[in-house]
Amino acid sequence: MPGRFVVSLTCAKDDTDKATVAFVVANAAIASDKEAIVFLSTEGTRISQQGYADDVHEAGFAPLKDLIASFVEAGGQIYVCSPCFKKRGLDETKVVPGAVIVGGAKLVEFMGEGCPSVSY
């Protein structure tokens, strides 16, 4: 069923289980023919940095770096909260493929009316 779907992620290595499950659900949305966005905010913005997720592998799941790559390769987009990114002093030159640093208005625009979302 076509449509849009948002996964909001506020965790990174502070809760690798939630970070992993967020990308599992995002991949499921893409596989269900949804136009999907993962919105990284607060600590979740750290996942936007190349190499950060390389050592995250929760038992029973694919490694986080593979989940991220699969999501992007399937057409998913990663929105990274600009103020959260800047607050943490992250490097704009080291953003993972498929990620774009945006303000909240971009997320609101994508969601429009009646867009389902989940938060981790």
Reported as a single tens digit per residue, the pLDDT across 20-52 is 999 999 999 999 999 999 999 999 999 999 999
**How many C-beta neighbours within 10 Å does residue 7 have?**
25
Tokens 């909260």 belong to: 81
Alpha carbon 67 to its chain centroid, in Å, reads 10
Would you state the torsion angle of the CA atoms of residues 80, 49, 58, 66, taken in this order, to the nearest 10 degrees? Answer: 90
Nearest to 82 by CA among 110, 48, 115: 48
User: Which residue has tokens 């607060």?
Assistant: 42
Q: Rounded to whole angstroms, how far apart are CA atoms 48 and 85? A: 9
Per-residue model confidence (pLDDT) at position 114: 84
- pTM equals 0.95
What residue ranges define each of the domains in the chain, with the CATH number in brackets?
3-119 (3.40.1260.10)
Residue 68 token pair:
């991220």
